[in-house]
Amino acid sequence: MRIIADENIPCVAKAFASLGDVTLLPGRGMQAEQVRAADVLLVRSVTRVDARLLAGSNVQFVGSATIGFDHIDRAYLQQQGIGFSTAPGSNATSAAEYVVSALLALAVQQGFDPAGRTVGIIGCGNVGSRVRQKLAALGMNCLVNDPPLQAQGGHDDFVDLDTVLRADVVTVHVPYTREGPYPTHHLVDAALLERLRPGAVFINTARGAVADNAALDVLLESRFDLSVVLDVWEGEPDISMSLLGKVQLGTPHIAGYSLDGKLRGTEMIYRAACEHFNRPLLWQVADDLPAGLSLDLRELRAAPLLAKLQAAVFACYDIRQDDASLREQLALPAADRPSRFDRLRKEYPVRREFPQSSIITGEPDGELARTLAALGFCVTG
């Protein structure tokens, strides 16, 4: 069996070796002639999978190690009888941890405490629900807007968009869609952005085109009170330097880039491929995960709770480092910026999720231990 895989899917060659010969290629420039003889195609969100890529090929199964599928022509795959799998929820934990790190970093920059503030969460699926749990652990009042989920029933705590926009923080966690009853292309448009309350924080970790980047750029020319955190951008990898220069925190589409999340994505499409071809499972993700962080916070016993939480979160994941790396593009020639954006993603350092971090607080029954445990950390004493 011949397998073509995006070179940035971690451990993909090792995982799929039992199924056949694996060839690794850059995902963004993948061409039809490169995949024509393949039986299996494994991609990420940077590869558009449709008739132009697959027509006349031998591909029987497509796996995307991503939570979204807006880059996949699913109707075409179904029409051709090609098996398909994504990795829903694989990076949801790390994306939620990204939001926590972002808010704690802004708290350092601007001198506020998230506790007692209100956050509006647009989209409460795999990522949004975890964001809600973690921000509630920080003492934030969470408002949720999700019309598709609300239409399914079973919940009674949804609010309308007007209510969400009155929150201190607005964070977006929706899939990217252009069609259907709930399209999200430019869901956050100029009119919605203008309604953000004075001093609000806006965070987008969904897809770049969920927010109108041009409108946001224009708005920030005059709304100096707003704080914006962007992990996703329209036009990736050739993103707007003007907008990057105006946001408080900007990162290169890595919110879900914990090693745990990426390997979880590999595992999910590997399992789906094995099921599709009726092959045994011979690789498991635990084989390729290093040890997590160990941190002793007892020396901070006299520090405020917020400072202790910041120490724990930043030791595990400090968004400010990713922001600094991306901002280096501002000094580069325009022609060099897209390749560097991709390189930041390809060469992303190992990042473990909160549950793999062991924290000693010295007060295992205290407020700090309870809060860290609610955030997902392993509190050992």
Which residue is catalytic, options 44, 130, 132, 207? 207
Mean pLDDT of 364-369: 92
- Given pLDDT bands bounded at 50, 70 and 90, which one contains residue 67? confident
Does 365 score more than 90 pLDDT?
Answer: no
Please provide the CATH number assigned to the domain covering 2-90+258-288.
3.40.50.720
Does 42 score more than 80 pLDDT?
Answer: yes
Mean pLDDT of 165-183: 95
For the chain, give every residue range classified as CATH 3.40.50.720.
2-90+258-288, 92-250
Which residue is catalytic, options 97, 234, 236, 267? 236
3-state percent breakdown (helix, strand, coil) of the chain, nearest 5: 40, 15, 45
Preceding amide of 10 cis, omega within 30: no
Going by C-alpha positions, the residue among 99, 27, 86 that lies closest to residue 256 is 99
- Give percent of the chain above pLDDT 90: 93
Which residue is catalytic, options 253, 337, 351, 352? 253
- Report the chain's mean pLDDT, rounded to a whole number: 96
For the chain, give every residue range classified as CATH 3.30.1370.170.
294-379
Tokens of 323: 């922001």
- Give 29's contacts (C-beta < 8 A, 6+ positions apart): none
Lowest mean pLDDT among 206-220, 242-256, 276-290, 326-340: 276-290
Superfamily of domain 294-379 in CATH is Erythronate-4-phosphate dehydrogenase, dimerisation domain (3.30.1370.170)
328 is catalytic: no
60 close to 83: Cβ distance less than 8 angstroms: yes
Return the pLDDT at 375. Answer: 98
φ, ψ of residue 11 to 5 degrees: the values are 60, 20
**pTM across the whole model:** 0.92
Return the pLDDT at 69. Answer: 87
Mean pLDDT of 331-355: 96
207 is catalytic: yes
For 204-215, the pLDDT digits (tens) are 999 999 999 999
Return the pLDDT at 154. Answer: 67
- Give 309's contacts (C-beta < 8 A, 6+ positions apart): 104, 138, 368, 371, 372, 375
- Given pLDDT bands bounded at 50, 70 and 90, which one contains residue 153? confident
Please provide the CATH number assigned to the domain covering 92-250.
3.40.50.720
Q: What is the DSSP letter of 197?
A: P
